[in-house]
Amino acid sequence: MLRNLLDEIIRRRLWPIPAVALLVLVMAPLLFLKGSPEGSPAIDNVVPAAAEAKLPDRAARLLATSDGATVKGRATGAASDPFSPPAAVRAAAAAAASGGGGAATPPATGATTGNGAASNAAPAQPAPVVVQNGDGRTPRPSGSSPGRSPGSTPARTSPVPEIAVDIRYGAVQNSKVRRAIPRMQPFYIHGKLVAVFVKYSPSRKKATFAVAPGVLVTGPVKCRQQDGVCRYVDIPAGSHVRLTTLSSTRNIVSRRLDVVRTKRSSSSSTRATAASTASERACLLRKLQAQKAGDAPLERDACEK
């Protein structure tokens, strides 16, 4: 059987494979047993560890000191304070204090008493340096004002923006737009006072109008009633009401009041009115608010009489 296997390997020319395998089996142990090449470093020739460096004498004294003592040659006390005034200024301040008030100058830090022992007096505080102008006045730091400490920051007050209200008021829907109507602006129908613009309410986001008690208010906005009578109406931007009353000839007349838009405005046009006009409008608002159901409507000149 072995003979047949060898003949088959030779016939198919597969003999290099077993030859190579046999060569590997022979050479592998020889390679592992081969010694190290010449010139390679020996194990004994290891670089020795570096010797411990010796610190300088000054560094050794610093490491040996544990009580925080000051190294010789370094300044201590007031001489090391970069913010202390010069010695000449301190001496001049001490001389001025002793000459003016007659008070004794306290001993400096580290001064010794007559028996040679160091005194326990408090360390001398640097005297304040006061710089004066040519006219004898002390200059004030930039940005400060009288009555306020130099370090305080002035309070900033920003103007509170007002809300300008644009309206339409007329018999028809698309009447002329009245821009930024002032507070206490009156509204009339045939000379009779029917409503007054009170203010714009930021909390409700609506314009508030006081209404005469004899006026019928209709529309998508409801009235605020007092004692069963409509006294105020709050109209948001984009909404409207219709005010209806009887004329002097007993005819039914009405006007449409639209709040077109509201916007922030810091312009003085919303609040700048003549003193006489403002007083007259305030008078009309007070009289309208004091009216009761059944009272005659107020005339345009009700506050001029």
269 Cβ neighbours under 8 A, 6+ residues apart: 180
Specify if 115 maps to a domain.
no
DSSP state, residue 79: G
Beta bridge partners of 265: 162
Q: How many domains does the chain have?
A: 1
> Side chain identity at 168, as an amino acid letter?
R
Specify if 168 maps to a domain.
yes
Specify if 29 maps to a domain.
no
Query: What would the pLDDT profile of 230-256 be if each residue is shown by its tens digit?
Result: 999 999 999 999 999 998 888 999 999
DSSP state, residue 34: S
The C-alpha atoms of residue 224 and residue 208 are separated, in whole angstroms, by 10
Q: Which residues of the chain have pLDDT under 70?
A: 34-53, 65-83, 99-161, 266-274, 305
Residue 256 belongs to what domain range?
162-290
Which tokens go with 5? Answer: 């296997």
Specify if 212 maps to a domain.
yes
pLDDT value for 186: 95
- E-assigned strands of the chain? 162-170, 177-178, 186-189, 192-201, 206-211, 216-218, 223-226, 229-235, 240-246, 252-265
